[in-house]
């Protein structure tokens, strides 16, 4: 027995099986600690898997010893490794940085249930990232969704409940659409395994059920990924969720849906459906563009910093969708890199917000006036992550914006207009972030008190660690680039 | 041909019932209609040769879901406010999608076509290999618990997550005893002699049937999930006719929590045992010297885990709803 | 005959859209949960229809009988899982509705929305 051979299964099993132990605890602190340890251990497993991918690849893992397509396989390529790093990293960041704010949001008695749900959400997202089977993706999608609903419903504001109900309805519709699509493909191919599907679809190319399947899967996943205009559930869910939960889900949960979308549209349909790529582009690109521009514009008018950042997320998902929708190698590279970099920036930003809320107890921008002078360390980190979000050179955000612009330029006839759209939306990002930064540095606090009130040192250190990661991956982006290259290879591999 | 016609008749009833559910403003009637809807659905499944699914749909859709909805209605208003909002655009989209799906159906294999791609390939392999590799009569159980056992592990955790969610939201676990589950139904039942006597006669058989389904799932339709759902239905029926918290006072909430978590852990540890014994995650063949025996051991243990979690979670959920005032 | 063989799929489409219509148009949250159940049940019917083979029986091997035709076990397995997912969603959704009623005093979506806008 060599545990290194079982990394793909352990990546899911570790957080999943820790969860039932956590709910049996009676103490909120212990539950948090257990969840944090499990989350960090998962992060460690993700790093090991990433190393294995870069060192030549991870062999297919057949769960239960049954070879695919008869059993369920776990397949890990660069893109999966990228997602695993994001998911486990965001979870650890949320748990480690959220201790103080979670202690305030969740009462001690219910805390074990909450952290159990957190671990199940983590396991579900990891499960999607490693799955090589279309139905297995559905199962883990539902695990992570149900657990995420619990996490969001834990918000203190009653609006968290109405937001989460809407999310539950839309999320279930999305997952059911996905399931219908998988059903249509199974009907025509007799298999559920991604690789096998891609092979066997060639025989039933251009049949009506397969085309319908592509439609259901794309729309279902677009709902879950909150691609504009299917994003209506997202801003309120992000805003009213507990702050630490927002750090976790804003960084990774919608991206996992985009990941499945890429798996299907490139791994399975691409090359099997005539003109599929063009259709996909025609469907996705206009939506993505309007999302980028409109959501950025809406963000400017938000009075609540969490809502502002949530609309910014809708716009950033637009960038990822735009890049993915180009259906080119450069586009896929840009999409994957932007998933990574946006998660980094948004995770840091929401972590800073949770620190602001710890001291000033409000997410209204007007109530946060002067916070930059009172909490200079946290605000400094916020500015760095904000620069990365805008795409300023030297930060991680610049790398993916650069790849995006290069990818867009190669679109015949549309290069210049698309670049202009990207530039406009980046300027809009400057405006909405400046709006907050200006208030934070130059505004007068509501109670006129300008004395320093920083959060405790460990939390500050963590925030700066996250902020510096934004700079590190801006100056030395080799890791995400290598993973994205490997991911692009498997997405387009053999089918071009 | 007769089966086909009966099927068409039942399906038409299904559509009518669905419309009635949507139109009914009295939510109690809508709940009852939902129960009928599930029963009709179960009958359809039975006609379509899906015995396991029919049993599950009857136990879950008509049983568990109905009681859950009633428990929810106890805590919320029983009627729907008039008025609805619907943009013409969404009606148009819905109508267009329906037509599109019907259009697509003409490219699909017809009902029962033995040459359809879905019946070849993987499915055929399961049917051929189950006697040799797993050696249990019920192929559905073989696929569910071994070939696709990883999905079923996920399924158990979906149930556990729902339990965690309800306990988290409604603060279950330490509430009041299981006594106020829908007083209207409760009084209605305990006040009448016939339901009372009938229920008392039925309950032992229901519990016995649940145990049968739990341990006979390899041979006939059934398994841990159905057993858990039926077992819970029996206990709830008991608490309805007794009208007291007796049923649940036998099993304290903390024990239910242990059952829920323990079942999931049991399933997971079978998976880990596979790794420790030199196989893959959830590989049962390595659990004994003879691979087929190993499969049998694995399947019995994980079905037990499923049954425990389902029973624990469903009872916790009902408890959480009932204890809420 | 060909048309009758597609009837199940039409019912699937119609049920799915009845569910979706109710999800969009109904304001009562309990009703929305019921609509969600109809919506999901439609998919169950879709998969189970796919699993049926003419002249087949439920996929349970009977001792001593050979040459049996079985209906497809795989979609049945998938739907067993999907039914469980469905009831789990219903339970969680209902718990949220109960909490919503406690906080807002109503379970009508439009009224909740109006209160949210005020605050």
B139 and B37 inside one domain: no
> Which chain C positions have a beta carbon within 8 Å of B76's beta carbon?
30, 97-98, 101, 107
B195 and B298 inside one domain: yes
Q: Where are the alpha helices (DSSP H) in C53-106?
A: 73-104
d(CA A314, CA A254): 10
pLDDT given for residue A495 in this prediction: 41
pLDDT digits (tens, 9 = 90+) for C15-41: 999 999 999 888 899 999 999 999 999
Answer yes or no: do A176 and C96 touch at CB < 8 A.
no
Answer yes or no: do C88 and A139 touch at CB < 8 A.
no
Answer yes or no: do B19 and C18 touch at CB < 8 A.
yes
Determine the distance in angstroms separating the CA of A213 from the nearest CA of chain C, rounded to an integer: 13
Nearest alpha carbon to residue B109 among C42, C68, A207, A197: A207
The answer to the question of residue B50 being in a domain is: yes
Percent of chain A topping pLDDT 70: 98
Nearest alpha carbon to residue B224 among B212, B214, B234: B214
A464 contact partners, CB below 8 Å, separation of at least 6: A377, A380, A381
pLDDT digits (tens, 9 = 90+) for A378-437: 999 999 999 999 999 999 999 999 999 999 888 887 788 889 999 999 999 999 999 999
Give the Cα-Cα-Cα angle A81, A82, A86 (nearest 5 degrees): 115
Q: Where are the alpha helices (DSSP H) in chain B?
A: 2-23, 27-47, 51-57, 65-74, 88-105, 121-133, 139-142, 149-170, 183-190, 193-216, 224-242, 246-249, 253-276, 291-323
A170 contact partners, CB below 8 Å, separation of at least 6: A223, A230, A232, A233
Determine the distance in angstroms separating the CA of B202 from the nearest CA of chain A, rounded to an integer: 34
The answer to the question of residue B186 being in a domain is: yes
Tell me, yes or no, if C116 comes closer than 8 A to chain A by beta carbon: yes
Answer yes or no: do A162 and C104 touch at CB < 8 A.
yes
Answer yes or no: do B158 and A200 touch at CB < 8 A.
no
Of B80, B112, B141, the last residue of a domain is: B80
Q: Quick check: pTM over 0.80? A: yes
Residues 175-234 of A with CB under 8 A from B: 184, 186-192, 200, 204, 207-209, 211-212
What are the φ/ψ torsions at residue A129 (nearest 5 degrees)?
-65, -30
Tell me, yes or no, if C100 comes closer than 8 A to chain A by beta carbon: yes
Count Cα atoms within 13 angstroms, Cβ side, for A349: 30
Tell me, yes or no, if A1 comes closer than 8 A to chain B by beta carbon: yes
B287 and B173 inside one domain: yes
d(CA C21, CA A246): 31
Determine the distance in angstroms separating the CA of B208 from the nearest CA of chain C, rounded to an integer: 22
> Which chain C positions have a beta carbon within 8 Å of B152's beta carbon?
81
Tell me, yes or no, if C37 comes closer than 8 A to chain A by beta carbon: no
Burial class of residue B23 (count of CB atoms within 10 Å of its CB; 0-12, 13-18, 19+): exposed
Percent of chain B topping pLDDT 70: 87
Contact (Cβ atoms closer than 8 angstroms) between residue B62 and residue B82: no
d(CA B153, CA A12): 11
Answer yes or no: do B158 and C85 touch at CB < 8 A.
yes
Maximum separation of any 2 CA atoms in chain A, in Å: 72
pLDDT given for residue B101 in this prediction: 85
pLDDT digits (tens, 9 = 90+) for A299-347: 999 989 999 999 999 999 999 999 988 888 888 999 999 999 999 999 9
CA of A156: which chain C residue's CA is closest? C103
Burial class of residue A487 (count of CB atoms within 10 Å of its CB; 0-12, 13-18, 19+): buried
pLDDT given for residue A313 in this prediction: 93
d(CA A266, CA A493): 9
B37 and B146 inside one domain: no
Q: Give the one of C57, C92, C110 whose C-beta lies nearest to B49's C-beta.
A: C57
pLDDT given for residue B216 in this prediction: 74
Residue B312 structural domain: 131-325
CA of C58: which chain B residue's CA is closest? B49
Q: What is the mean pLDDT of the segment spanning B255-271?
A: 93
- In chain C the domains, ranked by start, together with CATH numbers, are 6-52+70-118 (1.10.287.3510)
The answer to the question of residue B170 being in a domain is: yes
């Amino acid at each position: 027995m060599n545990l290194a051979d079982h990394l793909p299964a352990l990546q899911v099993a570790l957080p999943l099986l820790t969860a039932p132990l956590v709910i049996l605890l009676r103490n909120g602190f212990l539950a948090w600690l257990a969840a944090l340890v499990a989350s960090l251990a998962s992060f460690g497993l993700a790093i090991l898997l990433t190393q294995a991918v870069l060192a030549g690849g991870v062999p297919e893992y057949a769960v239960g010893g049954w070879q695919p397509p008869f059993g369920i396989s776990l397949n890990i390529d660069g893109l999966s490794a990228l997602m695993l790093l994001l998911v486990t990293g965001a979870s650890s960041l949320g748990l480690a940085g959220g201790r103080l704010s979670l202690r305030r949001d969740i009462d001690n008695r219910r805390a074990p249930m909450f952290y159990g749900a957190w671990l199940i959400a983590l396991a579900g997202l990891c499960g999607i990232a490693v799955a090589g089977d279309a139905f297995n993706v559905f199962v883990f999608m539902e695990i992570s969704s149900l657990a995420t609903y619990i996490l969001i419903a834990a918000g203190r504001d009653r609006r968290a409940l109405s937001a989460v109900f809407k999310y539950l309805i839309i999320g279930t519709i999305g997952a059911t659409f996905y399931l219908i699509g998988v059903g249509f493909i199974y009907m025509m191919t007799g298999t559920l395994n991604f690789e096998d599907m891609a092979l066997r679809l060639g025989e039933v190319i251009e049949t009506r059920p397969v085309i319908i399947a592509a439609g259901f899967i794309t729309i279902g996943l677009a709902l879950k990924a909150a691609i504009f205009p299917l994003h209506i559930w997202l801003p309120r869910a992000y805003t009213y969720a507990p702050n630490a939960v927002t750090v976790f889900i804003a960084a990774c949960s919608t991206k996992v849906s985009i990941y499945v979308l890429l798996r299907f549209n490139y791994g399975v349909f691409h090359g099997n459906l005539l003109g599929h790529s063009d259709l996909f582009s025609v469907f996705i690109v206009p939506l993505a563009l309007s999302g980028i521009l409109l959501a950025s514009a809406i963000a400017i008018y938000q009075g609540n910093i969490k809502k502002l950042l949530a609309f910014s997320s809708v716009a950033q998902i637009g960038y990822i969708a735009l890049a993915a929708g180009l259906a080119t190698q450069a586009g896929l590279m840009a999409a994957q890199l932007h998933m990574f970099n946006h998660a980094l920036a948004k995770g840091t930003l929401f972590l800073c917000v949770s620190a602001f809320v710890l001291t000033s107890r409000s997410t209204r921008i007007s109530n946060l006036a002067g916070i930059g002078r009172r909490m200079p360390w946290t605000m400094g980190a916020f500015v760095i992550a904000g620069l990365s979000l805008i795409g300023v050179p030297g930060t991680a955000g610049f790398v993916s914006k650069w790849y995006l612009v290069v990818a867009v330029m190669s679109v015949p006839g549309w290069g210049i207009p698309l670049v202009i759209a990207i530039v406009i939306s980046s300027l809009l990002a400057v405006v909405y972030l400046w709006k907050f930064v200006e208030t934070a540095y130059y505004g007068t606090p509501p109670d006129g008190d300008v004395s320093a009130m920083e959060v405790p040192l460990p939390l500050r250190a963590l925030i700066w660690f996250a902020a510096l990661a934004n700079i590190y991956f801006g100056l030395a982006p080799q890791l995400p680039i290598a993973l994205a290259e490997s991911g692009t290879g498997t997405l387009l591999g053999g089918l071009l | 041909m007769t089966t086909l016609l009966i099927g068409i008749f039942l399906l038409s009833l299904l559509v009518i019932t669905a419309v009635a559910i949507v139109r009914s403003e009295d939510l109690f009637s809508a709940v009852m209609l939902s129960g009928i809807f599930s029963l009709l659905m179960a009958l359809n499944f039975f006609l379509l040769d899906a015995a396991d699914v029919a049993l599950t749909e009857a136990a879950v859709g008509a049983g568990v879901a109905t009681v859950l909805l009633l428990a929810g209605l106890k805590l919320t208003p029983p009627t729907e406010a008039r008025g609805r909002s619907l943009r013409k655009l969404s009606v148009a989209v819905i109508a267009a999608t329906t037509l599109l799906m019907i259009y697509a159906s003409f490219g699909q294999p017809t009902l029962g076509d033995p040459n359809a791609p879905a019946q070849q390939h993987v499915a055929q392999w399961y049917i051929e290999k189950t006697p040799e590799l797993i050696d249990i009569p019920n192929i559905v159980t073989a696929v569910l618990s071994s070939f696709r056992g990883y999905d079923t592990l996920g399924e158990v955790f979906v149930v556990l997550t729902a339990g965690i969610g309800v306990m988290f939201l409604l603060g279950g676990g330490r509430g009041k005893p299981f006594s106020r589950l829908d007083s209207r139904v409760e009084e209605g039942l305990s006040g009448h002699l016939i339901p009372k006597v009938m229920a008392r006669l039925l309950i032992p058989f229901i519990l016995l049937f649940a145990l049968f389904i739990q341990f006979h799932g390899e041979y006939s339709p059934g398994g841990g999930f159905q057993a858990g759902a039926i077992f819970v239905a029996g206990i709830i029926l008991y608490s309805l006719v007794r009208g007291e918290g007796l049923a649940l006072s036998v099993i304290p909430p903390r024990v239910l929590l242990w059952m829920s978590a323990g079942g999931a852990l049991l399933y997971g540890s079978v998976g880990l045992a596979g790794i420790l014994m030199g196989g893959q995650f959830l590989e049962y063949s390595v659990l004994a010297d003879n691979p087929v025996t190993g499969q049998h051991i694995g399947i019995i243990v994980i079905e037990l885990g499923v049954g425990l979690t389902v029973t624990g979670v469903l009872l916790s959920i009902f408890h959480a709803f009932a204890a809420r005032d | 005959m060909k048309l009758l063989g597609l009837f199940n799929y039409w019912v699937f489409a119609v049920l799915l859209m009845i569910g979706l219509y109710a999800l969009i148009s109904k304001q009562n949250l309990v009703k929305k949960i019921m609509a969600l159940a109809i919506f999901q049940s439609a998919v169950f019917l879709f998969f189970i229809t796919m699993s049926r083979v003419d002249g087949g029986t439920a996929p349970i091997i009977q001792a001593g009988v050979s040459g049996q035709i079985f209906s497809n076990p795989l979609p049945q397995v998938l739907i067993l899982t999907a039914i469980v997912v469905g009831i789990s969603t219903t339970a969680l959704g209902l718990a949220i509705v109960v909490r919503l009623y406690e906080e807002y005093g109503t379970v009508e979506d439009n009224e909740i929305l109006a209160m949210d806008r005020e605050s």
